[in-house]
Structure 1
Amino acid sequence: MCAPPTPTIDKTKARNLSLAYAFTLAAGAARGVWSYAVLSGYLYVLTGGSNARVGLAEGAQGIAQCACGLLAGWAADRFRRRTVCRVACVTGVVASLGLILAIAVSDVSARARFDYVTVGLAAFGAYQGVWSTALETLFADSTTRGAQRAEATSQKFMLTLLATTAGPALALVLFLCIGDDWSLAALKTVAVVGLALCAPPALLLLGLRDVGADACDDEEADKEGDEGIARLILVADLISGFGSGMTVKFIPLFFKNRAAFSPVAANALSIGAALVMICGSRVCERWSQSAGKARVCAVCMVLAAIALIGLAWADAGRLNVLRPGRPALTSTIKRAGAVLLYLLTCAQHACRPLKKAALNDHVPHASRGRWNALDGVTRFGWSGSAVLGGYLVDRGGYALTFVVTAATQLIAALVWLALVGRVDPHTAGLVPRRRAPTEDSLEEPLMEEAAPTTRATSGSFVVDDYSEMPRG
């Protein structure tokens, strides 16, 4: 059995963690300037108000991210992981410059520009797929199974959310300077600034280094984290991510078209959502120490589903009539209610660090790249399923998309409930399952003030071992 992990960490691992934190903050802030409300708004105006074409362009980004992420996972396990990071760096710089040209070049028809932007988004999706797989794999290699990995993952997620706040905040300032409207010129300016900021952080990937396998980490993963648990975690994440992708890309358009939000208001909403997720992730982390990761994730999925159904009701008026063209939300109370419900849907994202830590706890070092690549398929849902989301919005309004997404969150919650007691069976708040008493054990004499000398694990439960204790 492995000895408890020491709190020390070698210099290579510490360097990897520092670079991962810096990249997460810098790249996330740059991406947040253009890839949230600005990108959806730009594509919507460019295509003359077509939700389906917005979904098509962002879906190309997600499909490329999925395909390249899987390839990067295979490469990360077969070759040096730092080599994959270098490929990601080059891809990121080229994709950022390509998107800038696609948006900024003049004397191009709207249809041709849409095609160029779609290709550019696919290239940027390839960059996201490669760096996310390689970085997440090296990040997991540089942490220790259990509380230290969960804490480090939570810290990185917090930086992601801070970046999610900083990006829209910069976009908000830019809109205040150039004009608070959904004009193509204003949207193009903000998008180009954000894309220009995306290239420098990619250079940080060049500093990452490979680290060796942790024998204790692998032993625990082989013993307690069989592939069945990892598969269930991925299934739950895939279902949740696919559903989220149908909605998350259209939230800015929902508030733009249904609640008459300006670009400044839409970016302010993104900032508010990030702040809610920052607080929520801290609550989830602390709660998971007593309730377990699986139970916390299931509760978050259910809360998000309830809020999505509420948003659908606010949009459609009644859930038995789902169609586009409903009257706008002109009432201040209705708009405020829609904002509060949207913020509650962020519960599904607040538990993301717990999901990631649970997955990496149950896969060995040698195949971690492939597992993180498969986990990247769930991120495909954020953009890839936008194709279906755009189709649903044009056919049944935003309410229909909200209802379908709510259904996927409930299904994901059921999968997480099936993992309760298996993901982290030794959590303090969980009652371990014991073997059923046998006839021989019932005939044994009672022992007073006896304490077990060893603890043995078996599967997903803990069994007291009294075999070495004196009898009689």
Structure 2
Amino acid sequence: MRNPNVRLALLYYVLVQAAQSLYSQNPLAALVEIIDGGDDAAVGVVTGAQGVANLLAAIPAGILADRYRRDFALRIAACVGICAAALSTYTLWYAKRQHEHDENEHNTLGQRAYVMLVLSYASWGVFNGSVSGPLEALFGDSVETGSRSFVYQLKSALRTAGNAIGPLISIVIFSVRGDVWRVDDLSLVMFCGLALTVCPIACLFFFSDEKSLGAESEAFGAADTDEITTPLVVEDEDEDEDEDEDAEAPRRCQSTDSMVSGLGSPATDTRPFKYRVIPYLVATSDMLTMLGSGMTIRFFALFFKNAAHMSPSAVQAVFVVVPLGISVCAMGAQRLAAMLGRCGVVILCRIAGVSLLVAMTVIDPTKNKVTLLVVYIARSWLMNCHSGLTKSLVNDFVLKRHRGFWNSLESINAFSWCGSAMLGGFLVRMYTYETTFLITAALQGLSIVPIFVLLRIVPAEVEGGVAAPAAEEDSD
């Protein structure tokens, strides 16, 4: 927590989530639906374009961060963010002006504004993809192995709390301006978010690779292998100092090869297979979760607007309570993980969250609105409070020099999330919101299976490192 990169990253996440909750979440979904004539599928297309752009930018950014410098990659991302903010500001101004110009030409003008929105939010996908891998890798490099679950849960809690700032601001704006779903009011909310993006983008210029940790932040078990955390050349004290340097050359080359060879291959990672497979199992579980979430998360606000007939300020009030509750639950989940283990907490939370989502499909949104909201809020808290635990698992078991690449793979999850959002929009159009919720519950239920496999693999965290599991101790 004393590391400057860690403190700056925590500040960045709060600011960027606050900005995105204003310009890229519920207000965007409502604006797109109005501009495109009430079609939920149009919301999915905007989200899908953002996800594709995120994926295309993330992998190169992660490789750049691993091969060169994380802070250099973040400075490039900041420049991309400046361009995205400028493009989105112009697009939003254009959409607002054209909507006011002549309602008789609303469909034609709406289509043009809609295409511009797709392009501008694709540029935000490029920005998010450019930031995610390098920043997460630098954050992982700046946190000591064995202490990650607390720091990552704190990051998750603060990041989620940032999502409450946007809805709070928008409640004030909607309440003052009549509390109805109008393009003018939605545009004003989004302009506030775009103005706020200046702060997190500025933060990206102040990260530094020199402030990251050394071997103490390396992956669990790396110290027991011939990894780059040990000297590339180890000389015996009894050797003659005049020994021919050519004799050391093969050893130098072998270490160099291990730095550039394939991810997870024996040449790069000689740790036990059960430790090397952990990131893959976590990534599989997260991908299934994101596939399910993408189908519904962009449509919950529209569900409350269209099916439950809630006002803008009422909908935004729900999205103030949700992130604040997730933040509190995240810290509680970290404490519970000390007793049950990280995987145990993830399994319990997901089982409960999936069950509550299924319950939402049988509640009448007009007759039992309060019950529906209570179930939705509880479900959101449980399904999102443990993300820091799974993130800490990945960084505990991925070697430092591969963290940029591995964290950029998060964009595959983002892509799957956005791709499923497109599918979710068409499912809502063809069937109902409730049908889409059931498909989401099925996918999120499947995501629990890989975590069950990890129960007997993942060792417990201890101060200053990671403890070996009991089964391994018995085998010794």
* 2:60 is equivalent to residue 24 of structure 1: no
| Pair 307,187 (structure 1): closer, same or farther in 2 beyond 3 Å | same
* 2:346 is equivalent to residue 276 of structure 1: no
**Equivalent-residue separation in structure 2 for 1:167 and 1:300 (angstroms):** 26
Match of 1:359 in 2: 394
Q: Secondary structure at the residue paired with 2:473?
A: strand
**Equivalent-residue separation in structure 1 for 2:10 and 2:180 (angstroms):** 34
| Pair 48,221 (structure 1): closer, same or farther in 2 beyond 3 Å | farther
**Equivalent-residue separation in structure 2 for 1:219 and 1:110 (angstroms):** 51
Superposed CA offset, 1:426-453 (max 9, x none): 689xxxxxxxxxxxxxxxxxxxxxxxxx
Q: Which is further off, 419-428 or 133-142?
A: 419-428
**Equivalent-residue separation in structure 2 for 1:107 and 1:166 (angstroms):** 29
Aligned AA for 1:243?
Answer: G
Per-residue deviation, 1:382? 3.7
| Pair 79,338 (structure 1): closer, same or farther in 2 beyond 3 Å | same
Per-residue deviation, 1:460? 6.1
Q: 239, 251, 255: which one pairs with 2:288? A: 239
Match of 1:326 in 2: none
**Equivalent-residue separation in structure 2 for 1:284 and 1:303 (angstroms):** 14
* 2:82 is equivalent to residue 93 of structure 1: yes
| Pair 412,168 (structure 1): closer, same or farther in 2 beyond 3 Å | same
Match of 1:131 in 2: 131
CA contact under 8 A between 1:273 and 1:343: conserved in structure 2?
A: yes
**Equivalent-residue separation in structure 1 for 2:363 and 2:399 (angstroms):** 46
Per-residue deviation, 1:190? 1.2
* 2:188 is equivalent to residue 189 of structure 1: yes
Aligned AA for 2:119?
Answer: V
Per-residue deviation, 1:417? 1.0
Q: 66, 78, 88: which one pairs with 2:67? A: 78
Match of 1:287 in 2: 336
Superposed CA offset, 1:392-450 (max 9, x none): 1111110111001101111011111111021235689xxxxxxxxxxxxxxxxxxxxxx
Q: 336, 339, 363: which one pairs with 2:370? A: 336
Superposed CA offset, 1:253-301 (max 9, x none): 0000011111101110001111221121122111111111111111111
Per-residue deviation, 1:213? 6.3
| Pair 457,57 (structure 1): closer, same or farther in 2 beyond 3 Å | closer
* 2:357 is equivalent to residue 308 of structure 1: yes
**Equivalent-residue separation in structure 1 for 2:134 and 2:339 (angstroms):** 32
Match of 2:230 in 1: none
Superposed CA offset, 1:155-214 (max 9, x none): 211211221111110111111122311111211121122112113320110100114663
| Pair 458,275 (structure 1): closer, same or farther in 2 beyond 3 Å | closer
* 2:298 is equivalent to residue 256 of structure 1: no
- Could you tell me which runs of 5 or more consecutive residues in structure 1 were left unpaired when the two chains were aligned: 1-7, 316-328, 429-454, 466-472
* 2:25 is equivalent to residue 36 of structure 1: yes
Q: Over aligned residues, Cα RMSD in angstroms?
A: 2.2
| Pair 260,107 (structure 1): closer, same or farther in 2 beyond 3 Å | closer
Match of 2:255 in 1: none
Per-residue deviation, 1:464? 7.4
Q: Secondary structure at the residue paired with 1:96?
A: helix
Aligned AA for 1:461?
Answer: E
Per-residue deviation, 1:462? 2.0
**Equivalent-residue separation in structure 2 for 1:93 and 1:418 (angstroms):** 43
**Equivalent-residue separation in structure 2 for 1:82 and 1:456 (angstroms):** 32
* 2:98 is equivalent to residue 49 of structure 1: no
* 2:286 is equivalent to residue 297 of structure 1: no
Matches within 5 A, 1:58-77: 58-77=47-66
**Equivalent-residue separation in structure 1 for 2:287 and 2:221 (angstroms):** 22
**Equivalent-residue separation in structure 1 for 2:423 and 2:393 (angstroms):** 29
**Equivalent-residue separation in structure 1 for 2:185 and 2:416 (angstroms):** 29
**Equivalent-residue separation in structure 1 for 2:199 and 2:337 (angstroms):** 36
Aligned AA for 1:102?
Answer: T
Match of 1:229 in 2: 278
**Equivalent-residue separation in structure 1 for 2:370 and 2:321 (angstroms):** 13
Alignment: residue pair count: 412
Q: Secondary structure at the residue paired with 2:309?
A: coil
Please report the TM-score for the alignment, with normalisation by the length of structure 2: 0.82
CA contact under 8 A between 2:35 and 2:110: conserved in structure 1?
A: yes
Q: Which is further off, 194-203 or 261-270?
A: 194-203
CA contact under 8 A between 1:179 and 1:186: conserved in structure 2?
A: no
| Pair 218,335 (structure 1): closer, same or farther in 2 beyond 3 Å | same
Match of 2:404 in 1: 369
Match of 2:448 in 1: 413
